[in-house]
Amino acid sequence: MPWTRRVGFIGLFALALACSEPEAASPAGDAASPPLPAAAPAAPTDDMQVPPPLLPRGLITNEAGVTPGYVLFNPSMSDTAYLVDNLGRVVHIWKTPYAPGGAMELLPNGHLLRGARDPEMLGFKTGGTGGILQELDWEGRVVWEWKLSDAGHVLHHDIEVLPSGNVLVLAWDVKTPAEARRAGRRIDQIPEQGLWPDVVLEIEPLRPRGAKIVWEWHVWDHLVQDHDPDADHHGDPAQAIGRLDLNAGAHAPQVDPAQLEQLKALGYVPADATPEDLRSDFLHVNAVAYHAGLDQIALSSPVMGEVWILDHGTTTVEAKGSSGGRAGQGGDFLYRWGNPAAYRRGSAAEQIFFYQHDVRWIPDGWPGAGNLMVFNNGRGRPGGAWSSVDEWTPPRGANGRYAQPSAGAFAPAALAWRYRAPDPASLFAPVISGAQRLENGNTLICAGTGGRFLEVTPAGEIVWEYRNPFWGDVRNVDGSLPQPRIDERPFAVFRATRVPADSPELVGRTLAPLDPQPAWYEWKPKAP
């Protein structure tokens, strides 16, 4: 299927999983520190030991210093998006026909751009799949849809609205086992379904149902491998640091059967998915961000433990090669950070990110402006599993280009800021989740697997905390509502977004608490 065709609907998805995410004490921020030593934190208290529905829900903390405004979120198995105020009261909802498909954004006109899951999706049995992107007006009417969901391609995880009104989306592009072998992938690391390399598409909405692809970037155009001298892309990964080592993630840990069952229970993957199905998603890019001043794109690959920066100032033709564009490097990585072992410029001991999500640039004029930030999930972190929010300063010159090391890893050698709980293991979300820097210097954190939102100050003080009390109303195929077991996470949320009270998106909108308030989910044990 040619990528330049016009398609009729749009989609995405990403959310939920089940995992421990217990109560945390008041957190502390680590300023200008190197990666923290994995100093034997206590084993995480597992929410599986306490039914998540029985934990405190709704508003937990509301202190002086919280950002005036609202928080937008969509529970992972719900067809409803919620806007809540700082007292935890729902002031607006959007009802849709579909389960969520990952990220969503409020547009300047107050419309909601929302990823959704295609109920007729073909072949993609892994987390993050979507297929449909919808624009809903304030009353919930669909004013635009686009769909990219077929046997060879599907949209997934994240979206980013550009100043032009165009939208960046992520997609998978299926490569057969034969194509993977020709590219130099290790044969023992090629699943039966082949590989799903990631693609970034810029689409121009064509309302009411359509879109035009106006720019694209394929990671498959930027490979290097030293496994097979007779295959394509043969070279030294340590000398081709602008390219992806096709075998760098060959030893990445796979989902075990117990974890896969949790994913199924939340609807994050289909009920018939197997560990083999998940292996094709060998990069799992889960976030896309854009910096208008630099005309650059940031991507997060949790499997690689890296963030990549791309030049958006290329044509689609230039984006396929290694020259042209604003930086003169075509579509090669301008910069990468988080795991120098991925490009043979460091050891496993130097890895910083462990299954990270939600890369973002901090906006100009805000504390930390120009820095990058991620929610570092901590899954597989040596010494213990704990999550953090990590901020760092990339080595960018006045011309927007990055210092290219002739040897060793990309700078910096230390973080600019880190948030972690005093008991690190008390904040652990192994998948999904995110973090958003706010204009006053606070940071909103979504520990997604437990549906827990925190706003913290630069010093790490919690000034607001809320636990999502809503669960899924997306029905099973037979029309029944799914019922969670005691060991499932029914309140998971892919990402939460702070919407300040003076945001243009909310001008002229009625934001009084709904009366009556939407009912919280009430957990009832199944009959024996």
Q: Tell me what the mean pLDDT of segment 295-317 comes to.
A: 98
Return the SS3 of 277. Answer: helix
Express each pLDDT in 213-271 by its tens digit.
Answer: 999 999 999 999 999 999 999 999 999 999 999 999 765 445 667 666 666 655 556 66
Give the SS3 label for residue 506: helix
Looking at residue 256, its pLDDT comes to 66
Amino acid identity, residue 67?
Answer: T
Cα separation of 269 and 278, whole Å?
A: 9
CB 431 within 8 A of CB 379: yes
Query: Residue 250: what pLDDT?
Result: 65
- Mean pLDDT confidence for 91-99: 91
Q: Is the pLDDT of residue 159 over 60?
A: yes
* Mean pLDDT computed over 297-309: 98
Q: Which tokens is 28 given?
A: 């502390």
Task: Report yes or no: 469 and 73 within 8 Å, Cβ to Cβ.
Answer: no
SS3 396: strand
- Between strands 69-73 and 58-62, the pairing is unpaired
What average pLDDT does range 323-343 have in this prediction?
Answer: 98
**The residue to which tokens 């939600």 are assigned:** 358
- Most confident stretch, 95-99, 195-199, 524-528: 195-199
The rounded distance, in Å, linking the Cα atoms of 215 and 233 is 24
**Residue range 44-66: mean pLDDT, rounded:** 71
- What is residue 485's predicted lDDT score, i.e. its pLDDT? 43
Q: What is the pLDDT of residue 473?
A: 61
Helix segments in 13-78, DSSP class H: none
Contact between residue 289 and residue 360 where contact means Cβ atoms under 8 Å apart: yes
Query: Which tokens go with 445?
Result: 């954190």
pLDDT at 128: 82
**Share above pLDDT 70 across residues of the chain, in percent, rounded to a whole number:** 81
Q: What is the pLDDT of residue 11?
A: 28
* Among the ranges given (165-174, 445-454, 467-476), the one the predictor scored with the smallest mean pLDDT: 467-476
What are the Cα distances from residue 118, in Å, to 154, 232, 383? 9, 35, 39
> Which residues on adjacent β-strands are paired with residue 81?
94
Q: How far apart are CA 166 and CA 283, in angstroms?
A: 25
- pLDDT exceeds 50 at position 46: no
What is residue 25's predicted lDDT score, i.e. its pLDDT? 32
Q: Is the pLDDT of residue 279 over 50?
A: yes
Peptide bond preceding 275: is omega within 30 degrees of 0, i.e. cis?
Answer: no
98 versus 369: which is more confidently predicted? 369
Pairing of strands 69-73, 80-85: antiparallel
Number of Cβ within 10 Å of residue 295's Cβ equals 17
Token pair of 285 as six digits:
């890019």
Decide which of 100 and 174 is more confident. Answer: 174
Which has more pLDDT, 431 or 48? 431
The tokens for 509 are 């909108």
Report the half-sphere exposure of 320 (CA within 13 A, side-chain side).
Answer: 3
Judged against a pLDDT cut of 70, whether residue 1 lies above it is answered with no
Q: In 3D, which of 420, 429, 353 has the Cα closest to residue 39?
A: 420
pLDDT at position 123 is 78
The pLDDT-based confidence of 32 (bands split at 50, 70, 90) is: very low
Tokens of 12: 């995405």
Q: Could you write out the three-class secondary structure of 165-181? A: CCEEEEEEECECHHHHH
For residue 477, pLDDT over 80 is answered with: no
User: How many angstroms separate the Cα of 520 from the Cα of each of 75, 343, 384?
Assistant: 12, 47, 34
Average pLDDT, the chain: 85
Can you give the pLDDT at residue 270? Answer: 62
Candidate from 73-87, 369-383, 431-445, 470-484 with smallest mean pLDDT: 470-484
Question: Do residues 217 and 310 touch, judged by C-beta distance below 8 A?
Answer: yes
pLDDT band at 58 (very low <50, low <70, confident <90, very high): very high
pLDDT class of 274 with cuts at 50, 70, 90: confident
What's the pLDDT score for residue 308?
98
Predicted local confidence at residue 267, as pLDDT: 52
Tokens 């909405």 found at? 205
Q: How far is CA 506 from CA 69, 127, 172, in A?
A: 10, 32, 34
34 vs 428: which has the higher pLDDT: 428
